[in-house]
Amino acid sequence: MIEALIFDLDNCLAPAMEIGSELYEPALKAIQDANLGTLSSSALDAAIHDIWSHPFDWVADKHGFSVPMLEAGMREFAEIETQGPLFGYGDLSALDSFDMPLFLVTSGFRRLQESKVRALGIVDRFQDVFVDALDEPDTRLGKKRIIQGILDTHSYAEESIVVIGDSPHSEIKAAKELGIRSVQTLRPGVKPTPVATYRIENLGELPALLESLDLESLE
């Protein structure tokens, strides 16, 4: 029996780019100014493209940012927040159809991620909202430990939880490592991954999927 759902935010409930590219400009300029030949122009463009769909520290590591580039980006991103309003994907109202606790677990900079949740007007739909804050390295847990904490706090068994998100490198990976079923949201630009247990294109497909899982558990 499914007892709770854990959702990701960016490119799951709302496009990461909905906040507008201009909000990122000070941080991207700071990274470019600190580059000083570390990355070629094309390599830097590829890294900046990835920033829109992956946590900044993951991008920095993948693309080989220098320490000054990493520090410049961290400093500027930590100050960003959106005033909104944001609207998310058109199926966001599906969150109201789930008669069970919902949790939101998102990675990013605390001020920005919390401002996105406020701007979307979805805070009240979740029992708890957790930010895996890049700008709080001393206390950062990572999504895997946050999800495990939800299970431990509420005494949920792994088979009673479903994780919904887009990234095979983040929440879907964490779910697999914890033995939890995952559902990948195939939003525009998101590539299907075999790491996910299931895949959907719209949150409206989720209730039927959950019902089928409940029926399987009764057999």
**pLDDT score, position 75:** 96
219: pLDDT strictly greater than 80: no
Section 159-188 average pLDDT? 97
With cut-offs at 50, 70 and 90, classify the pLDDT of residue 54. confident
Q: Which of 107, 31, 119, 38 shows the shortest CA–CA distance to 76?
A: 31
Which CATH code for domain 4-16+86-218?
A: 3.40.50.1000
166: pLDDT strictly greater than 90: yes
Tell me the percentage of the chain whose pLDDT exceeds 70: 99
Sheet holding 102-108, edge to edge: 128-133, 102-108, 4-7, 161-165, 181-185, 198-200
Cis peptide before 85 (omega within 30 of 0): yes
Chain-centroid distance of CA 8 in Å reads: 4
Section 17-21 average pLDDT? 91
- Mean pLDDT, rounded, of the chain: 95
**pLDDT score, position 218:** 56
**pLDDT score, position 217:** 65
Section 171-181 average pLDDT? 98
Question: What is the CB neighbour count within 10 angstroms for residue 53?
Answer: 18
With cut-offs at 50, 70 and 90, classify the pLDDT of residue 21. confident
Model-level pTM?
A: 0.93
In the chain, where the domains are located = 4-16+86-218, 18-77
**pLDDT score, position 133:** 96
Section 19-30 average pLDDT? 93
Question: What is the CB neighbour count within 10 angstroms for residue 26?
Answer: 14
- Summarised one tens digit per residue, pLDDT across range 55-70 is 899 999 999 999 999 9
With cut-offs at 50, 70 and 90, classify the pLDDT of residue 84. confident
